[in-house]
Amino acid sequence: AVFAFGLLIASIFSATILPVASAFYVCQAFGFEAGIDKTVKEAPQFYALYSSILLISACIVLLPNAPLIRITLWSQILNGLLLPVVLLFMIVLINNEEIMGSYTNKKFNNLVGWTTVLVLGSLSLLLVFLLLL
């Protein structure tokens, strides 16, 4: 019973935090006001996006006979495939002196970062290849 309660709390927590975080980052990227400390009038795009994500997710979960395990698996595969791209942009930004000033990466950090990008990129390509077989 305790384990089931823990799973319930974790799923409720994830179901609310992930849409909020996604809406926050998208709004920040496009220069819109964002945050749960703002009112709907102050951040309409944030609340519209947050509500849309929740509504779409609820509709998918409530579909009769929806292959939820397959949906979860494919969302994680997509996440893994996009990770090297995100890391690539992060490394480029971290090495930009105009943005980071004296806090740019050192050579060792770049070696670790680029090695990680290459390994994850190679594994992602291998995954795509194996999925297409």
Per-residue model confidence (pLDDT) at position 93: 94
Return the domain boundaries, the chain: 1-66, 67-133
Per-residue model confidence (pLDDT) at position 106: 95
Q: Residue 1 above 90 pLDDT?
A: no
In the 3-class helix/strand/coil scheme, how is the chain assigned residue by residue? CHHHHHHHHHHHHHHHHHHHHHHHHHHHHHCCCCCCCCCCCCCHHHHHHHHHHHHHHHHHHHCCCCCHHHHHHHHHHHHHHHHHHHHHHHHHHHCCHHHHHHHCCCHHHHHHHHHHHHHHHHHHHHHHHHHHC
pLDDT one-digit tens code per residue, 6-45: 999 988 888 889 899 999 999 999 999 999 999 999 999 9
pLDDT one-digit tens code per residue, 91-121: 999 999 999 999 999 999 999 999 999 999 9
